[in-house]
Structure 1
Amino acid sequence: MEHYIPPYTISDRMLTLVSAISEKVGKVAFRKEFGSQPHLRKNNRIRSIHSSLKIEANSLSLRQVRDVIDGRLVFGDQKEIQEVKNAFRAYECIEKIDPTSVDDLKAVHGIMTYRTVEESGRFRKGNEGVFSGDKCIFVCPPPARVSGLIHDLLLWVKQNEGKVHPLIMAAVFHYEFVFIHPFADGNGRMARLWHTVILYKWRSVFTYIPLESQIERFQEAYYDAIARCHVNGDSNVFIEFMLEMINQVLDEVVVQAQQSDAELSQYVKHLLDCMEFGVPYTAREIMETLGLKSRETFRKNYLNPAMELGLVSMTLPDKPNSKNQRYVKQ
């Protein structure tokens, strides 16, 4: 009996991106500082969770997601708060997950959708479709085929470990999983998490690389790539898209890894330590956290050097003196 082989073709662009990504991953892995900073790992994990949920219309802000994970009281939709708690628990399982196991897939879905989905941890029993407004643009495989399709997909992953590059394999799995749509809800979250799981098995640094945040920035292109693959009958467009996303987010992670290098002044290090990734701050808020009173000292020793290194950016770069100016850690 022939085993299922997902349809895709390796292109020159894919090979170029795989090479570039591998080089950047090597740079990050070489810097032991990246793996030894709990706050950096936690910040990236929170960004991943926030972005993956935001793609699925969860309205909680990055700060609210952080507060939920830190156990603080958050006023908001209870289902959305539960989704954050669930996602955090699911991502904490990354290192223990067998990406070829149906049992693990169902178990993690059960964690991801705990108390929010009726069929939590079970394959869907009903028909599903993908809609754009009121128009159905794609009809998912019937529920009777889901179990077999997932079995074939996971078997392909298992049999091709060491044969297909993990960067390619993760993208193929991601698209095929979305195509199968095995669960009534939570398929996008699971596909993105499993993508990370496969990459983690290749290089452990991926457990804290916020790939989801990059996807969320290009959400429309993400869905467009999936839609184009539905039409083309293969995952080529999606593979290239995901490789582009990984290549771009690694540029950001390389900068993060450099932040603890010896050449950074203690002033800049203190500034970075008091800022959370992606959260906009006023100059006064940062100064108060640092215990500074002199704006001139703050700008000369802390803010300007950090911005020159590309570690902090302005929300209104064209209006540097605006009263609405905020500063964001990159």
Structure 2
Amino acid sequence: MSEAPPFTISQTMLDMVFRIGELVNSIEHYELLDPHPKLRKQNRIRSIHSSCAIEANSLSVGQVEDIIDGRKVIGPKDEVLEVKNAIEAYSLLGDFDPYSMDDFLKLHGIIVRNLEKEAGRFRSGAEGVFAGDRLVYMCPPPEFVPSHMENLFAWLNESSSTVNPLIASCVFHYEMVFIHPFSDGNGRMARLWQTALLGKWKAIFHWIPIENRILKAQQEYYDSINFCNSAGNSNRFIEFMLRMILNALEDSMAEIRTATEAPPRHLTEFILKMESGKYYSVKELMELQSYKSRPSFLRSYIKPAREHGLIEMEYPDSPRTTKQRYKRTE
């Protein structure tokens, strides 16, 4: 019998679990009627970019997409390799058993392959979490890591029929970060394994970029972890992560609805005037439409065309650049 991690289920948690369940059902309904492979790819790119960016990887969303598409990217060698490893790990996620510690170690071996000597193995040295030069938290000694992780996985398996999978995945995420079982890759593994646990429950979670929401609330992510370290339970972190999951589902639901709705006729006629594969400036597109007002054109054509996935930006990482051009989505 394992020792259960300390946490208490609150009404706030239950309310969010209910709302998440409603959104999951809605998204599953839309996906059943009309799968969206392009949205799935974009969400996967966001997940990989965000999880790596949280760990200070400087590659852009566009560069991550280039790596996925097999294009050469100029950037720090270790950061490019980190993204390549993450791409492979996310692509294999559905093949791993999220309740298996052996699979957990195998996935770590992929995440830090050729980046860390102890890839796929628990750390052999002491670890601490620092904010600059200040020690924030001293992790458990390395000799206790295997037993702590064995207990965590035992609890995960024993509680699979009694603890809601949303809450269990949040508890695992926090406890894994607390144990800090690896010399490198702990944050990426915690986020990835939570996705694996959620994906085992509902497959759509393999394509929901929760990491993107965490990146946007990165300081709160760290603050909630530090608060729980002091409080001796994971309550605040569970509530934080449930909110991130809820927000990510709301984002995805809005994108799916937009993609599912037929674009207005004026947009389809506008897109047909664009040559395939050619980039156009806003000025050139306005000339195609004999349009005079730039603000009105951006509002009536560019914005909705982007929302419907009808056009793509030449510089997606700099959406407001004056050099921005657009091409028709093929």
TM-score (norm 1): 0.85
In 2, are the aligned partners of 1:172 and 1:235 still within 8 Å (CA)?
Answer: yes
CA displacement at 1:124 relative to structure 2: 0.2
In 1, are the aligned partners of 2:89 and 2:107 still within 8 Å (CA)?
Answer: yes
CA displacement at 1:4 relative to structure 2: 1.1
1:234 matched residue in structure 2: 233
Change (3 A) 1:162 1:285: farther
Change (3 A) 1:45 1:293: same
How many angstroms apart in 2 are the aligned matches of 1:270 and 1:45?
31
Query: What is the CA deviation profile of residues 6-34 of structure 1, one whole-angstrom value per residue up to 9, with x for unaligned ones?
Result: 00000110011101111111111110268
Matched AA of 1:264:
P
How many angstroms apart in 2 are the aligned matches of 1:216 and 1:84?
16
Matched AA of 1:179:
F
2:316 matched residue in structure 1: none
Q: How does 1:202-281 map to 2 (within 5 A)?
A: 202-265=201-264
Structure 2 gaps, min length 5: 272-278, 312-319
2:45 matched residue in structure 1: 46
1:190 matched residue in structure 2: 189
Query: What is the CA deviation profile of residues 16-73 of structure 1, one whole-angstrom value per residue up to 9, with x for unaligned ones?
Result: 1101111111111110268722211111001000000000000001101111111111
In 2, are the aligned partners of 1:99 and 1:154 still within 8 Å (CA)?
Answer: no
Change (3 A) 1:326 1:234: farther
Q: Do structure 1's residue 18 and structure 2's residue 3 form an aligned pair?
A: no
3-state SS of paired residue (2:259): coil
Structure 1 gaps, min length 5: 273-282, 313-321
How many angstroms apart in 1 are the aligned matches of 2:270 and 2:146?
51
Change (3 A) 1:114 1:291: farther
How many angstroms apart in 2 are the aligned matches of 1:163 and 1:74?
46
Matched AA of 1:182:
P
Change (3 A) 1:266 1:61: farther
RMSD (Å) for aligned C-alpha atoms: 3.1
How many angstroms apart in 2 are the aligned matches of 1:29 and 1:286?
37
In 1, are the aligned partners of 2:47 and 2:212 still within 8 Å (CA)?
Answer: yes
1:144 matched residue in structure 2: 143
3-state SS of paired residue (1:259): helix
In 2, are the aligned partners of 1:95 and 1:197 still within 8 Å (CA)?
Answer: yes
Q: How does 1:1-330 map to 2 (within 5 A)?
A: 2-32=1-31, 36-265=35-264, 284-285=280-281, 293-294=288-289, 296=291, 299=298, 302-303=301-302, 305=304, 324=322
In 2, are the aligned partners of 1:35 and 1:205 still within 8 Å (CA)?
Answer: no
CA displacement at 1:264 relative to structure 2: 3.1
In 2, are the aligned partners of 1:35 and 1:41 still within 8 Å (CA)?
Answer: no
Change (3 A) 1:144 1:37: same
CA displacement at 1:100 relative to structure 2: 1.5
CA displacement at 1:115 relative to structure 2: 0.8
How many angstroms apart in 2 are the aligned matches of 1:287 and 1:7?
59
In 1, are the aligned partners of 2:281 and 2:324 still within 8 Å (CA)?
Answer: no
In 2, are the aligned partners of 1:33 and 1:260 still within 8 Å (CA)?
Answer: no
How many angstroms apart in 2 are the aligned matches of 1:271 and 1:233?
58
Query: What is the CA deviation profile of residues 207-230 of structure 1, one whole-angstrom value per residue up to 9, with x for unaligned ones?
Result: 000000000000000000000000
How many angstroms apart in 1 are the aligned matches of 2:165 and 2:193?
12
How many angstroms apart in 2 are the aligned matches of 1:271 and 1:34?
27
How many angstroms apart in 2 are the aligned matches of 1:138 and 1:285?
51
Change (3 A) 1:192 1:292: farther
Change (3 A) 1:224 1:300: closer
CA displacement at 1:145 relative to structure 2: 0.6
Query: What is the CA deviation profile of residues 115-165 of structure 1, one whole-angstrom value per residue up to 9, with x for unaligned ones?
Result: 111111111000000111111111100100111111110111111112110
Q: Among the aligned pairs, what percent are the same residue?
A: 44
1:278 matched residue in structure 2: none
CA displacement at 1:266 relative to structure 2: 5.8
Matched AA of 1:64:
Q
Deviates more, 1:96-105 or 1:238-247: 96-105
In 1, are the aligned partners of 2:170 and 2:194 still within 8 Å (CA)?
Answer: yes
3-state SS of paired residue (1:137): strand
3-state SS of paired residue (1:92): helix
Matched AA of 2:288:
K
